């Protein structure tokens, strides 16, 4: 269908930054999945005049307006009244909603206030959405007269009430209007910058309408979303697959996974599939590699052993790195990284061990510049040491260097797991 929707979130707490607007992101994602285009999101306070003006603007550029918030029992919750009058509808008591509100309070052993009973006053001839998680019902108002073809969907503000109401009531209501759905795949790249990747995919991104091809930068990575709009999910592959193959042909060497989430999830899943275990010895990343791996549910099958050897002494005592090697090459060196990885593999008995040593700053150490990092991998079938220069002079440099360094270590482990015969 070619109806578009606007998300209109109502609440002064959003305007003063008391809460983050997760409702807008949730609705945007769900509407995208349903193939309903959204070109605008708006936030206004609990103010009838400004809400009325916002409705005027929203319906001038969209057929469907989905509101969140302002359905509560207090005097400043005026969304229902304002939207209903915008559609020229009166509010009438809905007995089913009144019963639901009374039994909700009965379940909580609390008396029903008049304010709460007011929540059962609904716009005349609307579609009512019950609220099993709270007292405020939602509804859909289909316009008539000069509002013909316009639809307002009113949802409560609290996410734990809004999300289930959208999924259980509003989405089915919209599905009847929408003949289309979106199918989207995420291509995960590591080792190529966003602008570099974009310039290599530029022609495809501009010419590709269905599916669309859009890059998103993450710290040290790039995500490319390929999204097709179809009538049946089964039709998507025919549109998407050739585009993915074209992308693979152009920048495939940087593609580490499709719909895989992130590097650590890709690593854990591959190691689970191949029955491989991983260990980590970390200096400048200080536990970040281990933390990222163990953030993945199921990591315990893959990861048993990690050490954070932050000092030269610890590299010797805890890891058993040769003191002479440390003295000769220094803690920040390719030789030390390789030794840390091989010692970690020997001590842990893991199939693959990665190690990171470097200078995350803020100051040079051993005369090694900030951002100089060595990442090593050791296994029975492949060993490798990377020299990275991640230097960056800002107060976030340390976090950036550690994050990107740990990503390189995870990628080394992932590529090594791939090579496993």
User: Which residues, numbered 2-41, are part of the site for its own copies (CB under 8 A)?
Assistant: 12-22, 24-32, 38-41
Choice between 89 and 341, CB closer to its own copies: 341
Tokens standing for residue 27: 């609705």
CB of 168 to its own copies, least distance (A): 10
Q: Does 225 bind its own copies (CB under 8 A)?
A: yes
Q: Does 308 bind its own copies (CB under 8 A)?
A: yes
- The alpha helices in 166-230, defined as continuous H runs, are 171-175, 194-207
CB of 229 to its own copies, least distance (A): 12
Q: Which stretch, 87-95, 143-151, 194-202, 249-257, contacts its own copies (CB under 8 A)?
A: 194-202
Helix (H) or strand (E) holding 13, with range, is helix 12-15
Q: Which of residues 270-299 bind its own copies (CB under 8 A)?
A: 280, 282, 284-291, 293-295, 297, 299
Q: Does 167 bind its own copies (CB under 8 A)?
A: no
Placement of tokens 């999204």 in the chain = 227
Q: Give, as one character, the DSSP assignment of residue 53.
A: H
Q: Does 48 bind its own copies (CB under 8 A)?
A: no
Q: Does 362 bind its own copies (CB under 8 A)?
A: yes
Q: Does 74 bind its own copies (CB under 8 A)?
A: yes
Regarding beta strands 138-142 and 151-155, do their DSSP bridges make them parallel or antiparallel, or are they unpaired? Answer: antiparallel
Q: Which of residues 321-360 bind its own copies (CB under 8 A)?
A: 347-348
Placement of tokens 């990885």 in the chain = 341
Task: Yes or no: say if 360 and 401 are a contact pair by the CB < 8 Å rule.
Answer: yes
CB of 364 to its own copies, least distance (A): 13
Distance CA 303, CA 298 (A): 9
Choice between 360 and 414, CB closer to its own copies: 360
Q: Does 260 bind its own copies (CB under 8 A)?
A: no
Distance CA 52, CA 59 (A): 11
Q: Tell me the three state secondary structure of residue 206.
A: helix
With a CB cutoff of 8 Å and minimum separation 6, the contacts of 257 are 188, 266
Q: Does 231 bind its own copies (CB under 8 A)?
A: no
Tokens standing for residue 410: 């995870």
The size of the interface with its own copies (CB under 8 A), counted in residues, is 112
Among residues 2, 146, 206, 273, the one that binds its own copies under rule CB under 8 A:
206
Residues in the chain: 421
Provide the mask over 131-150, with x wherever binding to its own copies is found by CB under 8 A and - wherever it is not.
Answer: -xx-----------------
Tokens standing for residue 201: 């995919």
Neighbouring CB atoms inside 10 A of 91's CB total: 16
Q: Does 99 bind its own copies (CB under 8 A)?
A: no
Q: Does 210 bind its own copies (CB under 8 A)?
A: no
Q: Does 250 bind its own copies (CB under 8 A)?
A: no
Task: Yes or no: say if 233 and 183 are a contact pair by the CB < 8 Å rule.
Answer: yes
Helix (H) or strand (E) holding 257, with range, is strand 255-258
CB of 401 to its own copies, least distance (A): 11
Choice between 148 and 394, CB closer to its own copies: 394
């Amino acid at each position: 269908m070619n109806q578009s929707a606007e998300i209109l979130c109502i609440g002064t707490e959003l305007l003063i930054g008391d809460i983050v607007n997760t409702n807008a992101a949730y609705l945007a994602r769900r509407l995208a999945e349903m193939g309903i285009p959204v070109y605008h999101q708006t936030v206004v306070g609990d103010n009838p005049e400004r809400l009325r003006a916002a409705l005027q603007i929203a319906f001038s550029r969209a057929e469907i307006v989905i509101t969140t918030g302002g359905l509560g029992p207090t005097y400043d919750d005026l969304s229902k009244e304002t939207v209903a009058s915008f559609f020229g509808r009166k509010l009438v008591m809905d007995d089913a909603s009144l019963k639901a509100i009374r039994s909700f309070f009965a379940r909580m052993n609390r008396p029903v206030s008049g304010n709460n009973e007011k929540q059962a006053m609904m716009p005349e001839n609307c579609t009512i959405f019950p609220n099993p998680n709270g007292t405020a019902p939602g509804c859909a108002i289909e316009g008539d007269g000069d509002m013909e073809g316009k639809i307002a969907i009113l949802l409560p503000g609290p996410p734990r009430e809004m999300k289930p109401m959208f999924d259980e009531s509003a989405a089915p209501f919209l599905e009847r209007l929408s003949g289309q759905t979106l199918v989207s795949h995420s291509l995960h790249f590591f080792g190529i910058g966003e602008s570099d990747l974009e310039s290599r995919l530029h022609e495809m991104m501009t010419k590709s309408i269905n599916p669309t091809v859009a890059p998103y930068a993450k710290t040290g990575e790039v995500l490319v979303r390929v999204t097709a709009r179809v009538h049946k999910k089964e039709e998507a592959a025919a549109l998407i697959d050739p585009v993915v193959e074209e992308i693979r042909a152009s920048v495939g060497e940087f593609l580490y996974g499709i719909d895989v989430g992130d590097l650590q999830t890709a690593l854990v899943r591959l190691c689970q599939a191949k029955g491989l275990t991983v260990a980590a010895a970390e200096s400048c990343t200080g536990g970040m590699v281990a933390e990222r791996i163990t953030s993945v549910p199921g990591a315990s099958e893959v990861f048993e052993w990690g050490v954070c050897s932050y000092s030269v002494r610890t590299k010797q005592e805890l890891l058993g790195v040769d003191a002479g090697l440390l003295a000769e090459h220094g803690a920040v060196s390719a030789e030390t990284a390789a030794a840390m990885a091989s010692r970690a593999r020997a001590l842990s008995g893991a199939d693959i061990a990665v190690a990171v040593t470097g200078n995350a700053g803020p100051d040079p150490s051993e005369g090694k510049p900030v951002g100089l990092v060595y990442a090593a991998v050791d296994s029975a079938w492949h060993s490798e040491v990377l020299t990275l220069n991640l230097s960056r002079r800002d107060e976030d440099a340390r976090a950036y260097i550690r994050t990107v360094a740990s990503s390189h270590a995870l990628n080394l482990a992932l590529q090594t797991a791939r090579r496993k015969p």
